[in-house]
Chain A
Amino acid sequence: MSDDRSLDRKKAVPVIVGDPKDLLIVCGLAGASKDMAHLTNDGDNIFTMAGAMGGATAMGLGLALSRPDKKVLVVTGDGELLMNVGTLATVGILKPANLSILCVDNGHYGETGYQESHTQRGVNLELIAQGSAIPNTRTIDREEQIPEAKKILRDSNGTSFILLKVNTEPPPSIKRSMDATERKVAFRRALLGIA
Chain B
Amino acid sequence: MMSEYGGQETWQEDLYSLLRSNGVKLFCYVPDGGHKTLINRSIEDPEVISVPLTTEEEGVAMCAGAHLGGTKSVLLMQSSGVGNCVNMFALIKNGQFPFVTVVTMRGEFGEMNPWQVPMGQGVQPVVEAMGMHCLRAETPEEVSPTVQAALDMAYKSNQSVAVLLTQKLIGAKPF
Contact = CB atoms under 8 A, between A and B. Distances in A.
Size category of the A interface is 35 or more
A81 to B, nearest CB: 12
Given A49-B91, A60-B65, A191-B68, A90 B58 contact: yes
Contact of B65 (A59, A90, A194): A59
B35 to A, nearest CB: 17
A65 B70 contact: no
Interface residues of B, number: 31
Interface stretch (A11-19, A50-58, A122-130, A151-159): A50-58
Q: Chain A contact residues: over half helix, strand or loop, or mixed?
A: helix
B97 A184 contact: yes
B149 interface: no
Contact of B26 (A49, A62, A70): A62
Contacts of B88: 52, 54-55
Contacts of B62: 58-59, 61-62, 65
Contact of B94 (A63, A89, A181): A181
A87 B54 contact: yes
A94 B67 CA distance: 19
Contacts of B61: 52, 55-56, 58-59, 62
A174 interface: no
Contacts of A53: 87
B64 interface: yes
21 contacts: A26-B68, A47-B68, A49-B91, A52-B91, A53-B87, A56-B61, A62-B26, A63-B66, A65-B49, A66-B68, A67-B69, A90-B52, A90-B58, A180-B94, A181-B95, A183-B95, A184-B67, A191-B69, A191-B70, A192-B69, A192-B70
